[in-house]
Structure 1
């Protein structure tokens, strides 16, 4: 069984037992969270879509860790204008383990 969930402005296809890095959510490490924004649920050939959400469907997950991604380097330059700008960014993430999918 798999599901398509929406969290942090992004959509993810998840199945039970998967590890996933999502946008940071305020939860303690080891706690169980419930994601109720389920867009679709499927098993084998059958697929159930929601308009926009599947009613009564939830995904339970356990928070494994909180962390930060690798640094993304931003470099801007205008040729012949003596302009250079360097900047970096590290995005926060929450790593979760999908436990159960309830349709």
Structure 2
């Protein structure tokens, strides 16, 4: 049985036992991965993906492709020329089996590209969680989130907290000329008065 699968923006017709060079996958040598974007299995054509089908493969090695040389020469421009070389990172995989049904329940991890969107979404969620935790920290400590005031960033909010100013009411009561811990702007005080 054969299948047409898609990975790395390319389509491959595969069957059990084939060895392929595909765009780099986030997997180590010896890992078993499963390709879930199946466009066709045998004679079953899907739109756009055949449901519950998959191709399982074993990662043999992480390799680099042949060197491609890019040479640019501009004639009659005082010998302007440039040479660049590039070797694409690839993954060598051996197709183990083509699953027409039951790929969702196989338990094999999905093949993810090294720079894929879903692979990058998990690390991107962590900074957002850290920002939310930082925003909640002043509120939990009995203070207000001073970064909601236009012009007050995290560094200025930390300096204000170190000086003992943690609420909008405290910031509204500050005399701009006599407060020396942080250079407080008059519009910060006005915004704090409206928020307090």
Establish whether TM, by shorter chain, passes 0.5: yes
- With normalisation by structure 2, the TM-score equals 0.50
Map of 2:84 onto structure 1:
87
Unpaired segments of 5 or more residues in structure 2?
Answer: 101-196
Matching residue within 64, 67, 75 for 1:68: 64
**Rg larger in structure:** 2
Unpaired segments of 5 or more residues in structure 1?
Answer: none
Map of 1:49 onto structure 2:
45
Map of 1:78 onto structure 2:
74
Higher relative contact order (CA 8 A, sep 6+): 1
| Structure in which a larger fraction of residues adopt strand | 1
Count of aligned residue pairs for this structure pair = 99
User: Moved runs in structure 1, 4+ residues, more than 6 A?
Assistant: none
- With normalisation by structure 1, the TM-score equals 0.94
Aligned Cα RMSD in Å?
Answer: 0.6
Whole-angstrom CA distance in 2 between matches of 1:67 and 1:25:
11
